[in-house]
Structure 1
């Protein structure tokens, strides 16, 4: 599994519209082969800063399967005008993973 991480700086004052449009755009990324899950998280310190986390089965599912698809063109049309600056997207592999098993 590969984790895609993108820091999203949304133009100030556009946060509500961005969040609404992100809900719509989610249908496009989630339809791609190899997509596992995603979450969008909002920064507590900066109201216009978000982090996007997407789990993919492998790197190519994102870099080729999604980015070279018609679904990506729709995603791009809905979301890319919100960003300033345009986000840097990186991919991470799990080295160590742990969870708290005491929270039942």
Structure 2
């Protein structure tokens, strides 16, 4: 089984969040998960929910702020081992092109 999640961890602040987000992302390195960060969050893949939740908890705790906001969306498709990249590839097959635009 592969569990795929979208995680966003950030301090509640008006200043730049980059350093705090970097701390949260770096905390994931202590766990057996794969991840890719994008402008809106980090997609995480883990073998099971327990591993995923441990990694998410560490990412949340890594942000040293008075107030931390964490958003987590989990896709736990228990009948398939489809990875996040395979999910994107399926959409791209339907589109007949890459699922991205350069904004032109």
Q: Is the 8 A contact 1:38 1:54 kept in 2?
A: yes
- How far off its partner does 1:9 sit? 6.6
SS in 2 for 1:13: coil
TM-score, length basis structure 2: 0.54
- Which sections of structure 2, spanning at least 5 residues, go unmatched? 99-104
Aligned length: 85
- Which sections of structure 1, spanning at least 5 residues, go unmatched? 43-50
Q: Give the distance between the partners of 2:28 and 2:39, measured in 1 at CA.
A: 16
Q: Is the 8 A contact 1:6 1:88 kept in 2?
A: yes
Match of residue 100 from structure 1: 92
Q: Is the 8 A contact 1:36 1:57 kept in 2?
A: no
Match of residue 44 from structure 2: 54
TM-score, length basis structure 1: 0.54
RMSD: 3.4
Pairs within 5 Å for 1:6-85: 6-7=7-8, 11-14=12-15, 16=16, 18-33=17-32, 35-42=33-40, 51-63=41-53, 65-66=54-55, 72=58, 75-78=60-63, 81=66, 83=68
Q: Give the distance between the partners of 1:53 and 1:60, measured in 2 at CA.
A: 16
- How far off its partner does 1:12 sit? 4.9
